[in-house]
Structure 1
């Protein structure tokens, strides 16, 4: 895949590392000469020290040949302009970081795939590790829904039941779905109605209301309510 990455800062640099390390052809556009020189020395990629909001710069990066463009600068205005130029040149995949949540709708209206401010995402994960220590990992979907990983405790209401039994007796209520089960030394189990749920199982769970205390109580993690 031929990828153009705009910006080589705290977001762009790890992205460059991932993309080049995976064997993709990468062109980096960076306006800061010192940063551009560093990236050129450290990574196997082409680096263009120029303003990415100019179409001539994108032409220098062979934008018409690109499979994807990812804009990672710390300014939403710059990211919008770069992405609009890329869309104009019909780059198949155009993705941007969005720092101000109020700008998210603008990016979506013009058809740009977005990722919200990574600093806020990190802050949310750190906060979650304090108030929801039982949650191994999670991903927010929309305003409230979440997919998260959680282990079944010994005294959990759901422990020892099959998924069908838990649904029938009301242990699993509302829009709470178990989408994956990991047992033992990473042994994957495809969840079905007759799948038994055992203490120590690592579950991937979808909850329309998120990982609220009422939901995590099902898996025996009552301490979450005290952490609120």
Structure 2
């Protein structure tokens, strides 16, 4: 795959490493002299020390034959311009980091796949690890909904109940869905049914249309 990566900073460098080690043909565009030199010395790829918001630079990078462009600079305005120019080259996959959540809609309107600022995601993950240690992992879906993994604690309201019983008692509302259960004595995850009983120590993967609120989490923790 022919991949053009814009930016060789904190996000770009590990991305370049992954892309090059995966056997892809990689071209990097970096405007900063020191960053460009560092990337050129570390990785087996072509590095252009140039401005990616100039169409001629993208042409020099071979966007007319690129399979994907990934913009990772620390400026949303730069990333937007790179994405717009990349569309003129009919690049099949255009992806960008978005630093300011308020700009997400702009990227969506121009038809660009986005990834929220990784530093913010890490900070949020660390905060949740302290505040809600029972939540092992989670993923946002849309504005509010989340899929999350939670360790069921002893004494939690749902322990000992089947999924149907939990729903009847109002523990699982219309916006809640248990999609998988991992249990120590099972080699494979359990596909939950109405008669599946929740046990202490289960690792439950659940969907919540309202996100991981306190009332949602209280179902699984004591």
What TM-score, normalized to structure 1? 0.89
- Aligned length in residues: 221
Which residues of 2 match residues 176-215 of structure 1 at below 5 A? Answer: 176-184=176-184, 187-215=188-216
Q: Equivalents in 2 of 1:35, 1:175: separation in Å?
A: 47
RMSD across aligned C-alpha pairs, in angstroms? 1.7
Mark the CA change 1:198 to 1:21 in structure 2 (over 3 Å): closer, same or farther.
farther
Q: Equivalents in 2 of 1:204, 1:153: separation in Å?
A: 14
Return 5+ residue gaps in structure 2 as ranges.
Answer: none
Cα distance per residue 1:162-208 (max 9 Å; x no partner):
32332233332231111121121763222222333221111111111
Q: Equivalents in 2 of 1:159, 1:14: separation in Å?
A: 42
Q: Equivalents in 2 of 1:131, 1:138: separation in Å?
A: 14
Deviates more, 1:43-52 or 1:6-15: 43-52
Return 5+ residue gaps in structure 1 as ranges.
Answer: 223-228
Poorly superposed stretches of 4+, deviation over 6 Å? none
2:72 corresponds to 1:72: yes
Mark the CA change 1:192 to 1:109 in structure 2 (over 3 Å): closer, same or farther.
same
Which residues of 2 match residues 49-128 of structure 1 at below 5 A? Answer: 49-128=49-128
Mark the CA change 1:113 to 1:168 in structure 2 (over 3 Å): closer, same or farther.
same
Query: Which residue does the alignment assign to 2:144?
Result: 144
Q: Equivalents in 2 of 1:23, 1:159: separation in Å?
A: 48
